[in-house]
Structure 1
Amino acid sequence: MRRIAALAGAVFSASVLASPLAQAADYPTRPITLVHGFAAGGTADVISRLVAQPLSEILKQPVIVEQRPGAGGNNASRSVANAAPDGYTIGLPTGGHAVSAGLYKNLPFHPVDSFEMISTVVYYAFAVAVKPDFPANDMKGLLAYAKANPGKLDYGSAGIGSTHHLTGELLGSVAGIQWNHVPYRGEAAAFTGLLSGDLPIIIATTVTVQPQLTAGKLKALAVSSPTRFRGMPNVPTVAESALPGFDVRTWAGLFAPKGTPKEIIAQLNSAVQQALARPEVKSKIEEIVGGDVQGSTPEAMRTMVASEAARWTDVIKKANIPQQE
């Protein structure tokens, strides 16, 4: 009987120690992996590393950045969704994560329900830019030109289903214009098309448009955010210049697998807020992406991602964009 009691006590103790609450109380006790879905050296990779360093110091455990590129970030999201919900695997989704809800036929995860959101990190906008000799000098002029020439105007983006592309589709729908999307393999290729004269308009991130604008190689007509981009203070927003209320920004944030204990999510959220409050971290991220660092509660991020997924799914359907496998 004593042996049975001792064995039962040992099993009970082991189960308590292995419970989520016990894990949360001791968390973290080993390195954390931060996964993103894009190539080394890209925006997501840079943001991940800028966040990982202060998180390592705050949590007192290494935060190791791991790239899992492919499928527009979905490879990384899938790996996070399938990871153990113990706080030792987290991910950095970007704006395309919400787009995937409507863009893919057989998505192996749900963009919202398969994850525990931790916090947003940064928001950044797009700019509508044109060749220097384009006949319009502002957004109103562009829309008037497009309406006078329905179906004859092309705009380029970083690719089919990119947030750049969908921003153009939403802009066309709200403004009531008909223009044609020309997909490129990334922003760099789209810029080459514009600067070579093959393309009259591009929609690209503000931070990539800024140096070309400064060099006089293009005209920036408007930015998609509700406030002007500090790097191009003379370029108005779409909302103030042509379409009141227009607000499109992409973003980056952090999430964990569904079922990660709330106590661990709260600890990670607190660490993220502390990291983003560091002036050197905030300024560097904003410099890299040309955006605004903005942390959030897990609940606020969940609401934002759900809202973005619904918006882009609607845009994809209305624009008849074919779903991808």
Structure 2
Amino acid sequence: MANLFKRTATALLFASVSMAAAAAYPDHPINLMHGFGAGGNADSVARVIADAMGKRLGQTVVVEPRTGAGGTIASAYVAKAKPDGYTLIMLTGGHTASAAVRKEVPYDPVGSFSMVSTVSRFPFVISVKADNPAKDLKQLLDQARAHPGTVTYTSVGVGSTQHLTGELLAAKAGVSMVHVPYRGGGAPVQAVLSGDVNVMVDTPTVTAPQLKSGKLRALGVTSPQPWPLLPGVPTVGSVIPGFTVMSWLGIAGPADMPKDVVDTLNRTLKDVLADQAVQKRLHAMGSEAWYGTPTEMRDMIATTTEQWKQVVKAAKIPLQ
């Protein structure tokens, strides 16, 4: 009887400590990392989400870029961080693309992370400098077909979704285009505006301001239907039937984060993404809010990684 009482008391003590820890979370600032440059889609969305999360959690959520290698440097750092909920990452669609195109990455794209929730989804925009002779996507592809290897396109890094989207576009169209990777942020758009690179494959967040200013011309959007936030821009599928690429952003932490912490973060993001002010800010960037459970996010990443592997194989994209 005494042993039973002792075990019960011990169990109650651990339960009370666990509840106290959960109630205290978070009791100091949270770092939200991402792997891309300032001003890019991941950075812009991360700052919107971090601000809204911080207000609801009562702690500052600090956005910290750790650029390079198509986001894998930041992902590797977070995968090895202490799983206490104070080091998180804004994963991008490039997380699954890198896992598909690289011979190896220093983490398991699913198993090394505690998924929290997706936050947004969006297509990519194929665009050129306003004075480019190609007035539409067909003309650009005809140009690439007539002069193989002379048309260049940007991305935010080798193995990024932008990179694979460009490779898939070239493969499906039967043309040759040269990939010119950058470290993200505003570098790709500046490369196109300066004339160093011909074509930009990037998010509406990065592309829309240059479209509105008239500095870039959109040739196509990779959504299955015209994207309402880019009126008048035709789908790539209207030129290459069946061509569709949609990407996403989502928050995760290191594997083995306490369930109570994951649940707290997930509930917070559900509230954030239901906020019309946040939705409006995401829409202005060309994205739509997209909440999901940790299980839904985990399953989506696993499925998408396999889909990109099939694309890499079918398009005969060399592993990096």
**Shorter-chain TM-score category?**
0.7 to 0.9
Distance 1:76 1:181, change over 3 A: closer
Q: Which of 287, 304, 313 is the equivalent residue of 1:291? A: 287
1:40, distance to aligned residue in structure 2 (A): 5.6
When normalised by structure 2's length, the TM-score is 0.82
Q: Deviations over 1:46-103 (max 9, x none)?
A: 43332233334434x4143252513343343234323444444432212222223134
Q: In structure 1, what is the equivalent of residue 30 of structure 2?
A: 33
Q: Provide the C-alpha distance between the structure 2 equivalents of 1:154 and 1:118, rounded to a whole number of angstroms.
A: 37
Q: Provide the C-alpha distance between the structure 1 equivalents of 2:142 and 2:317, rounded to a whole number of angstroms.
A: 24
The runs of 5 or more residues in structure 1 that have no matched partner are none
Amino acid at match of 2:298: R
Amino acid at match of 1:47: V
| RMSD, matched Cα | 3.3
Q: Provide the C-alpha distance between the structure 1 equivalents of 2:132 and 2:192, rounded to a whole number of angstroms.
A: 11
Which deviates further from its counterpart, 170-179 or 203-212? 203-212
1:106, distance to aligned residue in structure 2 (A): 4.6
Q: Deviations over 1:252-275 (max 9, x none)?
A: 111133233445433322221111
Please say if residues 41 and 185 of structure 2, whose CA atoms lie closer than 8 Å, have aligned partners that are also in contact.
Answer: no
Q: In structure 2, what is the equivalent of residue 81 of structure 1?
A: 79
Distance 1:266 1:181, change over 3 A: same
Amino acid at match of 2:30: T
Please say if residues 95 and 160 of structure 2, whose CA atoms lie closer than 8 Å, have aligned partners that are also in contact.
Answer: no
The aligned length equals: 317
Q: In structure 1, what is the equivalent of residue 299 of structure 2?
A: 303
Amino acid at match of 1:245: G
Please say if residues 158 and 184 of structure 1, whose CA atoms lie closer than 8 Å, have aligned partners that are also in contact.
Answer: yes
Q: Provide the C-alpha distance between the structure 1 equivalents of 2:53 and 2:259, rounded to a whole number of angstroms.
A: 18
Alignment of 1:121-136 (within 5 A): 121-136=119-134
Alignment of 1:178-189 (within 5 A): 178-186=176-184, 188-189=186-187
Q: Which of 238, 260, 263 is the equivalent residue of 2:257? A: 260
When normalised by structure 1's length, the TM-score is 0.81
Alignment of 1:56-67 (within 5 A): 56-59=54-57, 61-67=58-64
Q: Which of 244, 249, 263 is the equivalent residue of 1:247? A: 244
Q: Provide the C-alpha distance between the structure 1 equivalents of 2:49 and 2:84, rounded to a whole number of angstroms.
A: 20
Please say if residues 136 and 219 of structure 2, whose CA atoms lie closer than 8 Å, have aligned partners that are also in contact.
Answer: yes
Greater radius of gyration (CA): 1
1:206, distance to aligned residue in structure 2 (A): 2.3
Q: Provide the C-alpha distance between the structure 2 equivalents of 1:90 and 1:190, rounded to a whole number of angstroms.
A: 26
1:235 match: secondary structure: coil
Distance 1:114 1:197, change over 3 A: closer
1:185, distance to aligned residue in structure 2 (A): 4.6
Q: Provide the C-alpha distance between the structure 2 equivalents of 1:17 and 1:108, rounded to a whole number of angstroms.
A: 37
1:151, distance to aligned residue in structure 2 (A): 3.5
Q: Give the share of equivalent positions with the same residue, in percent.
A: 39
Please say if residues 41 and 206 of structure 2, whose CA atoms lie closer than 8 Å, have aligned partners that are also in contact.
Answer: no
1:294, distance to aligned residue in structure 2 (A): 1.3
Structure 1 residue 313 and structure 2 residue 309: aligned?
Answer: yes
Q: Provide the C-alpha distance between the structure 2 equivalents of 1:165 and 1:286, rounded to a whole number of angstroms.
A: 24
Please say if residues 37 and 75 of structure 1, whose CA atoms lie closer than 8 Å, have aligned partners that are also in contact.
Answer: no
Alignment of 1:179-258 (within 5 A): 179-186=177-184, 188-239=186-237, 241-258=238-255
Amino acid at match of 2:276: P
Q: Which of 272, 276, 281 is the equivalent residue of 1:275? A: 272
Please say if residues 150 and 178 of structure 1, whose CA atoms lie closer than 8 Å, have aligned partners that are also in contact.
Answer: yes
1:167, distance to aligned residue in structure 2 (A): 0.9
Q: Which of 152, 155, 167 is the equivalent residue of 2:153? A: 155
Q: Provide the C-alpha distance between the structure 1 equivalents of 2:281 and 2:8, rounded to a whole number of angstroms.
A: 53
Please say if residues 91 and 255 of structure 1, whose CA atoms lie closer than 8 Å, have aligned partners that are also in contact.
Answer: yes
The runs of 5 or more residues in structure 2 that have no matched partner are none
Q: Provide the C-alpha distance between the structure 1 equivalents of 2:259 and 2:197, rounded to a whole number of angstroms.
A: 49
